[in-house]
Amino acid sequence: MKNSTSSEAASGRNRAAPRPDASNAPTLSDADRLDGEALVGRQVRRGRRKLCARLFGRASRMNYVRTPHAAISLLAWLVIAEVVVAQNVVAQDERPYPKLVTVATQANQAELARLQKPGKVVFVDDFENEKSLANYFEIQGRKDGRVSIAHTAEEVHAGKGSLQLTATDNQGKARGAGPVLWLGNKGHECLHLRYWIRYATDYDQGNLHHTGGSLSGVAGTNKWRGMGSAGKRPRGDDHFSTRVEGWRDWGRRKPPGYLHCYTYWQDMSRNQDGNYWGNMLAPPEAERRVPKRGAWQCVELRVACNTIDDRTVHADGELAVWLDGRLYQHWHGLRWRSDPTVLLKRVGLLCYVHEARQDNTVWFDDVVVSTGYIGMQTVAPPSSK
């Protein structure tokens, strides 16, 4: 088994922590979107201040600025540094960043109908018994009981069973659990992942976690491709991924935090520490929802790959999330891939806590994967014919 310590593209024992400013691009509506030149200028000034502080700090420690000549030399280095910062910011700014279009979609019945058009059911799992676990090619935490089938009434959404995942207390170290599903080598241009999730009444990840369902695009037949690659930007011809998960904003929100999409793709923004942590694509502040612990919630995630024709890679990919049947966020303009062989092939269900100081449990039930909208209704397994 390859890379057996990881259980999805944004997880694994060596998973590095996301940063609060993982997405440097503003998540604003068209009416409120910042002027591009002003944004670049602000980023240049921010980078310049940081470089100035570092250079002057180093010079002071070395007692370097003792003569006019030395001061002029240091000033020249600062000018060069500013040019480098500006070039880097512009290079990043040239990458197309998606636009949040939720409000416009909600107001356009034709567009909403297109987004919510049913498709062909690909996979269904209601976790009625242990046989369900045979569907998954990797299950992190199964051997030591962190993954199991629950049968207690309050832990089951419908039927007789649900999937129970527990990130057990690990004395402040990372701990995770969850299965990963491979949908086949053929892949899909568009998929919806629908699941019901329930957080334990005492669920509290502290700050950093990756708990929720994910969809991943992969090139080729390697089921593990892209897994364990946290902090690295996909090239476009290899993989991409997104997961619906909570973010507490360093304790400003109640656990498990407001839901957003933690996303890796070729045009993602780089963090200030130089790494490419998953960008947090979220609704505007007033629209952000924190799931109620101890209650079931229906989550549906849609990913539509961008189109590619001749040598043109179009920025027309989509990302959307519904909560309890209502459109929560809709993003347009993603270049998920640069190669048409990168297709949606992998699904992950995860409970992962970076600093596990208590047992944290979630339950998943009635998972459905389809090429179109699913909604909250009961779905029969696809026909084997």
With beta carbons less than 8 A apart as the criterion, state whether 146 and 166 touch.
yes
Residue, of 42 and 143, whose pLDDT is higher: 143
Residue, of 12 and 186, whose pLDDT is higher: 186
What is the location of CATH 2.60.120.200 in the chain?
99-370
Residue 310, pLDDT score: 85
Count the neighbouring beta carbons within 10 Å of the beta carbon of residue 248: 20
Residue, of 52 and 129, whose pLDDT is higher: 129
Q: What does each C-alpha distance from 340 to 115, 161, 308 come to in angstroms? A: 22, 38, 6
Give the max Cα distance, the chain.
84
Residue 78, pLDDT score: 57
CA atoms of 130 and 136, how far apart (whole Å): 12
Q: What does each C-alpha distance from 192 to 120, 216, 370 come to in angstroms? A: 10, 11, 5
- Listed range (96-100, 309-313, 373-377) with the worst mean pLDDT: 309-313
Closest CA to 17 of 247, 334, 256: 247
Model pTM above 0.85: no
**Percent of residues, the chain, with pLDDT higher than 90:** 73
Residue 45, pLDDT score: 52
Q: What does each C-alpha distance from 33 to 44, 57, 102, 226, 363 come to in angstroms? A: 18, 36, 14, 32, 38
Q: Which residue has the tokens 């998953």?
A: 278
Residue 263, beta-bridge partner list: 242, 279
Residue 89, pLDDT score: 44
Residue 191, pLDDT score: 98
| Average pLDDT of the residues in 193-205 | 98
Q: Above 70 in pLDDT, residue 25?
A: no
What are the respective helix, strand and coil percentages of the chain, to the nearest 5?
20, 35, 45
Q: What is the pLDDT of residues 215-243, one digit of tens each?
A: 999 999 999 999 999 999 999 999 999 99
CA atoms of 331 and 152, how far apart (whole Å): 38
Q: What does each C-alpha distance from 30 to 102, 106, 174, 260, 263 come to in angstroms? A: 11, 15, 39, 19, 21
Q: Above 60 in pLDDT, residue 261?
A: yes
CA atoms of 334 and 299, how far apart (whole Å): 21
Q: What is the pLDDT of residues 308-364, one digit of tens each?
A: 998 899 999 999 999 999 999 999 999 999 999 999 999 999 999 999 999 999 999
| Average pLDDT of the residues in 88-92 | 47
Q: What does each C-alpha distance from 332 to 131, 168, 191, 209, 355 come to in angstroms? A: 38, 37, 15, 26, 34
Residue, of 229 and 28, whose pLDDT is higher: 229
Residue 214 CB-density burial (10 A; 0-12 exposed, 13-18 middle, 19+ buried): buried
Confidence of residue 94 (pLDDT cuts 50, 70, 90): confident
In degrees rounded to 5, what are phi and psi of residue 325?
85, 0
Residue 52, pLDDT score: 56
Q: What is the pLDDT of residues 34-54, one digit of tens each?
A: 333 333 344 445 555 555 556
3-state secondary structure 138-149: EEECCCCCCEEE
Q: What does each C-alpha distance from 21 to 67, 331, 360 come to in angstroms? A: 40, 19, 25
CA atoms of 327 and 176, how far apart (whole Å): 29
Residue 68, pLDDT score: 60
Residue type, 207: N
| Average pLDDT of the residues in 184-209 | 97
Closest CA to 140 of 173, 167, 170, 169: 167
Confidence of residue 383 (pLDDT cuts 50, 70, 90): confident
CA atoms of 141 and 133, how far apart (whole Å): 12
Q: What is the pLDDT of residues 267-297, one digit of tens each?
A: 999 999 999 999 999 999 999 999 999 999 9
Closest CA to 198 of 163, 244, 250: 163
Q: Above 60 in pLDDT, residue 32?
A: no
Residue type, 321: V
Q: What is the pLDDT of residues 2-24, one digit of tens each?
A: 333 333 433 333 333 343 333 33
DSSP SS3 for 57: helix
Q: Above 70 in pLDDT, residue 90?
A: no
CATH class of 99-370: mainly beta
Residue 303, pLDDT score: 98
Confidence of residue 57 (pLDDT cuts 50, 70, 90): low
